Amino acid sequence: MSAPLLGIHHVSAIASDPQANVDFYTGTLGLRLVKLTVNFDDPGSYHLYYGDASGRPGSLVTFFVWPGSHRGRQGPPQVTATAFSIPRGSMESWSHRLGEAGIEFARSTPYPGEESLSFADPDGLALELVEPAADDPRTAVGGGPVPLAHAIRGIHGITMSEEGYEATAALLGGPLGFRAAAAHGSRFRYECGDGGPGAIVDVLCMPAGRHGSPGAGVVHHVAWRAPDEASQREWRALLVKDGFNVSPVMERQYFRSIYFREPGGVLFEIATDSPGFAIDEEPTALGTALRLPPWLEALRPRIEKMLPPLRLPPRYVS
């Protein structure tokens, strides 16, 4: 491939309560709500995007919000943990912050030199805050309720739980161009692009693990970064040639997407970095009003009646 995958573009999960979701991710975690829109395939429900000040790929976690959804079960084959990168020296500050919010957490050292806090969001989605072994050069999420010195830098990586290992490893290390980076017991780490925070996937082999099921608190898919539409088309052609059942290119307004399932069953997306979230609102106003794609704009009155009311967070001051 002329353009390798650059890292994680976003992680998308399912939530059951839009207000609790907004309050947790913008208030407790200090992320910015960068786009308030709807699920384009189910426009009567919210699709909420959180990230850094400009919603850069690699900082994004998104939620399909279906009020009243039953809680799913985490297990293979799923993304069973989403990790955010925090500055080194921030562990005590975050331990205090989570404790003050009444959130139970566990502290661990998954790899040498890497400190981690594990906890869950209001729907039970498994999250981690990671102090990486090497400094993360990305700009922290500033202007919100978390002090800049300790604020989240973006996604660190994901953990994929699988029944087996070899077929998924063959895809990652073969056609997708990932590199084997580390191994610890039944956990195998891969990196893409330049590696490091934002480009990490841990494959956890759980042959006896209870299968996961969809629902609130479960990751729907993970998206990988393609720099542009030309490289995305190349990726699609390569994957089809290798026997994968790949979707056509899907218009997602803020990026273009293709979807396929890796051999273990986790849904993968390859999303373009462009055009980004500032195409329909000013960068300083991201996430402050409901935005619809042009093909849904005529349905705005009906859509707005279907959506539950939502109290938005204060504007960030950058």
The answer to whether position 311 is within a domain reads no
pLDDT average, residue stretch 142-158: 93
The answer to whether position 2 is within a domain reads no
Contact between residue 124 and residue 103 where contact means Cβ atoms under 8 Å apart: no
What are 284's two structure tokens? Answer: 């300083």
The answer to whether position 315 is within a domain reads no
CA angle in degrees (0–180, nearest 5) for 164-108-124: 70
Tens of pLDDT, residue by residue over 157-198, are 999 999 998 999 999 999 999 999 999 889 999 999 999 999
Confidence (pLDDT) at 315: 67
The strand pairing partners of 85, in sequence order, are: 130, 154
The strand pairing partners of 46, in sequence order, are: 38, 65
Tens of pLDDT, residue by residue over 189-246, are 999 999 999 999 999 999 998 999 999 999 999 999 999 999 999 999 999 999 999 9
Tens of pLDDT, residue by residue over 45-62, are 999 999 999 999 999 999
81, HSE (Cβ side, Cα atoms, 13 Å): 22
Residue type, position 131, single letter: E
CATH number, domain with residue 225: 3.10.180.10
Three-state SS for 184?
Answer: strand
> How many domains does the chain divide into?
1
Burial class (CB in 10 A: 0-12, 13-18, 19+), 36: buried
- Sheet hosting strand 267-272, strand order edge to edge: 32-39, 42-51, 60-65, 8-15, 219-226, 267-272, 256-261, 250-251
The answer to whether position 270 is within a domain reads yes
The answer to whether position 230 is within a domain reads yes
The answer to whether position 46 is within a domain reads yes
The answer to whether position 312 is within a domain reads no
- Using the predicted structure, report yes or no on whether residue 317 has a pLDDT greater than 50: no
Three-state SS for 82?
Answer: strand
E strand segments, 52-113: 60-65, 78-85, 106-111
Per the structure, the complete domain to which residue 15 belongs is given by: 8-306
The whole-angstrom separation of Cα 26 and Cα 6 is 26
Entry pTM:
0.96
pLDDT average, residue stretch 83-104: 97
The answer to whether position 226 is within a domain reads yes
